Amino acid sequence: MPDHPGLARGSRLIEEDAASPAVRAVYEDIKATRRVDRVNNFWRALAVHPPTLERTWESVKQVMAPGALDPLTKELLYVAVSVTNGCEYCIASHTAAARARGMTDEQYGELLAVVGMANETNALANGFAVPVDEVFRTVS
Amino acid sequence: MPDHPGLARGSRLIEEDAASPAVRAVYEDIKATRRVDRVNNFWRALAVHPPTLERTWESVKQVMAPGALDPLTKELLYVAVSVTNGCEYCIASHTAAARARGMTDEQYGELLAVVGMANETNALANGFAVPVDEVFRTVS
Amino acid sequence: MPDHPGLARGSRLIEEDAASPAVRAVYEDIKATRRVDRVNNFWRALAVHPPTLERTWESVKQVMAPGALDPLTKELLYVAVSVTNGCEYCIASHTAAARARGMTDEQYGELLAVVGMANETNALANGFAVPVDEVFRTVS
Amino acid sequence: MPDHPGLARGSRLIEEDAASPAVRAVYEDIKATRRVDRVNNFWRALAVHPPTLERTWESVKQVMAPGALDPLTKELLYVAVSVTNGCEYCIASHTAAARARGMTDEQYGELLAVVGMANETNALANGFAVPVDEVFRTVS
Amino acid sequence: MPDHPGLARGSRLIEEDAASPAVRAVYEDIKATRRVDRVNNFWRALAVHPPTLERTWESVKQVMAPGALDPLTKELLYVAVSVTNGCEYCIASHTAAARARGMTDEQYGELLAVVGMANETNALANGFAVPVDEVFRTVS
Amino acid sequence: MPDHPGLARGSRLIEEDAASPAVRAVYEDIKATRRVDRVNNFWRALAVHPPTLERTWESVKQVMAPGALDPLTKELLYVAVSVTNGCEYCIASHTAAARARGMTDEQYGELLAVVGMANETNALANGFAVPVDEVFRTVS
């Protein structure tokens, strides 16, 4: 089993050759769906609790599939949430995914500019206790 | 001056006809840039502190202009951050802005699905203390 | 017992004349310490669980007393946290407390400007994954 | 170009001698305004996207200038927000800035005590669903 | 169709008699699983986007089922997260669910006390930049 | 005095043999109350500001004592909040505390599953602006 010099606080990662058949089936589906050779650490950590691995993968697979929004836009949204929450792992993995889907430096800069501005104006709206305009309350 | 039956906790809104020339100039620029007839409450609340009004408007105008990301994508990102922070005003106003730029119900559903999933997996990555994969650390 | 037309979701407030002697003693200490005639709703809600009321009041009384930081600065810090968390009650009550301690409109505008900017740059630092400068790691 | 042994996840930093003239002009203004010899990593990371560098620096310069609140108070507020958001970089850089402006250990202890207490009572106000007192809703 | 006097900002709720067969099937499963007569608003709002309704209900049903943790403990955990995030709807609905599973006032008071204290010490750990003890890094 | 190779950003830790009598008394109470041989870093960092050390320890001791909720449940709640806030130190220390009180891998998996789901549905409730059901507003 490989060594993990950067292994964080007691986290355990289930290696592919140590995985149960059920876990291995999820790993194979991840690799096939994403066309990658290696399952990234997030899934190998979730494999400690197989029901969470299976449910989360099924949900992510469904949610991130192409639909009314294209896959790059979905990755940008994922980064926006992860940056707002300060989740280092998720920023790293979804920035990589967005780059793999074609995100340019310019797009990344604009993404972060919007995310920064939204976090600022969220605070300003709270602080100034701005009442919602009637026009925003109407379902069109 | 109009009445504000829904006026929240002590918030003050600077009406257009009560605004100083500097504030009115910002109001006019907002209306012209966005092609709207009315300045929404966010800006009328910020007008209590004109330097914040001016700086915030200049920044938002620059950041939300068409660029490497299109205006609809930028509004979706704004909604994603605002939902994550639970900012009611900003969810309402930027959802309205996204709809004005063509967001469909289907897109809104997918946006919220991605935002929900990102918030879930951010928590899972934290809880399982997932170490960042070496492959995500490389600048390509 | 007075009516509470604005009473939020099932919250219960323990009125002064319905309070147990232990709760009433806290109420009296709040009024004496702050030189106010009325105990605000926060404490009347906590009184549903007297140990939490007593412990929280003792802590707040200690922490907010004049010390190396003056009381107005402490109220400004309380507002900064509450705005960042989007806690409507705490924004309202601590803004009122700051105003009672002399906060001007200009100071409130600058406070919110700093809080907004800090929330923006927190997001930018996360998004750009900025490494901490060596010089900031040294205890002087 | 210097080595960055602590360089985080793929972040890029634009060195001064590799910067474009526009970026270098911002760097010079940062050093002159703050009377420092070195531009800290935050700005060198933002320089990957020059419009964000320029806009953010102009905003920070304006917001953090002396005004109705003094510069130390503004740094304390910045730390309060950064601690609440758990932004390691911003805690480190603004704690250093506050120390440079004279913050003592005693003041830092009280700052964190207030920030801790505010985060606690924000949660209690949410959990007990405390309704805002009428008296806090009035603009004086 | 019933009237919704308290209907928030443009939210739409899909009534049971206006639901598609697929949505109605989820509604029936919710009522049968929880032994309730009425589907609460959360699900009626999600029904605007049926894939999100179906996926979220399947996930919640799986996650909240009795397992290694009992259902009351799971509801307490749900409240703890919702209070930390300041999600009014989720605090209200999961507090009601916890009460339906037997939560007493005393338990609710202790739950909120722990949640408040955890939010406080999270901030203190951030602010004092406490390094993780080696002993906490070991997987036992 | 021992070396701290992993010492984070300028944090100072007050060693037991360098502590003042008042700080040492708290350390002794922590060790006696928890039946441990070593005071963990959190308290050694707070000791830089003795009033915060004393107050926080007294509060934590009171809040985490057995009551209407058992100590393991309280630790699970602490982890839930810490995961939601992304506080690495608090996740590590309270996960260790929960394991010391008997938390199994299965329970940890379910805990994180609930926390993840709660964070997801908090976002969905915000995004869909779900109005609180009347039935949840009634105090029973």
CB within 8 Å of chain F, chain B residues 72-91: 79, 83-84, 86, 88, 91
Judged on CB neighbours under 10 Å (0-12, 13-18, 19+), E140 is exposed
List the pLDDT tens digit at each of the 140 positions of chain F: 333 433 444 579 999 999 999 999 999 999 999 999 999 999 999 999 999 999 999 999 999 999 999 999 999 999 999 999 999 999 999 999 999 999 999 999 999 999 999 999 999 999 999 999 999 986 54
* Selected residue of A69, A83, A138 to mutate for chain B interface (largest B Cβ count, 10 A): A69
Residue C130's nearest CA partner among E126, D22, D40 is D40
- Cα separation, B75 vs B62, in Å, equals 14
Q: Residue ranges of chain D with pLDDT lower than 70?
A: 1-10, 138-140
Interface subset of D 102-121, CB within 8 angstroms of F: 105-106, 108-110, 112-113, 116
- Of the residues E89, E110, E120, the best mutation for testing chain D's interface (the one with the most D CB atoms within 10 Å of its CB) is E120
Q: F37 to chain C, minimum CA–CA distance in Å?
A: 28
Per the document, the length of chain A is: 140
CB D118 within 8 A of CB C90: yes
pLDDT digits (tens, 9 = 90+) for C32-65: 999 999 999 999 999 999 999 999 999 999 999 9
Residue type, E42: F
Q: Which residues of F touch A86 (CB under 8 A)?
A: 86
Mutation target for B interface from C40, C89, C112, C120: give the one with most B CBs within 10 A: C112
Q: Could you give phi then psi for residue C134, rounded to 5 degrees?
A: -55, -40
In the structure, what pLDDT confidence band is assigned to residue E10 with cuts at 50, 70 and 90? low
Percentage of chain B surpassing pLDDT 70? 90
A59 close to E59: Cβ distance less than 8 angstroms: yes
Location of structure tokens 């039946």: F35
A17-37 core/surface letters (b: 16 or more CB in 10 A; e: else): eebeeebbebbeebeeeeeee
Q: Cβ contact (<8 Å) for C113 and B85? A: no
Binding-face residues of F in 32-61 toward E, CB within 8 A: 38, 40-42, 45-46, 48, 52, 56, 59-60
Q: Return the partners of chain C (3 or more C-beta pairs < 8 Å).
A: A, B, D, E, F
Residue E22 host element (H or E): helix E21-34
Question: What distance in Å separates the CA atoms of residue B33 and residue B29, rounded to the nearest whole number?
Answer: 6
In chain A, residues with a C-beta closer than 8 Å to the C-beta of E51 are 62
pLDDT, tens digit, for every residue of B61-111? 999 999 999 999 999 999 999 999 999 999 999 999 999 999 999 999 999
What's the confidence (pLDDT) of residue A5? 38
Q: Which of E86, E91, E109 sits opposite C48 (nearest CB)?
A: E109
A52·F86 Cβ contact <8 A: no
Quote the ipTM score. Answer: 0.92
pLDDT value of position B1: 31
Q: How far apart are CA E57 and CA F36, in angstroms?
A: 44
**Contact: C116, A128; criterion CB under 8 Å:** no
CB contact under 8 A, C51 and E106: no
Residue B83's Cβ-count burial label (10 Å; 0-12, 13-18, 19+) is buried
Handedness of CA D122, D123, D126, D131 (dihedral sign): negative
**Assigned token pair, C7:** 């009473």
Mean predicted confidence (pLDDT) in C65-70: 98
User: Two tokens at A68?
Assistant: 């009314």
Q: Which residue has the tokens 């799971």?
A: E74
**What is the phi/psi pair of residue E12, to 5°?**
-110, 140
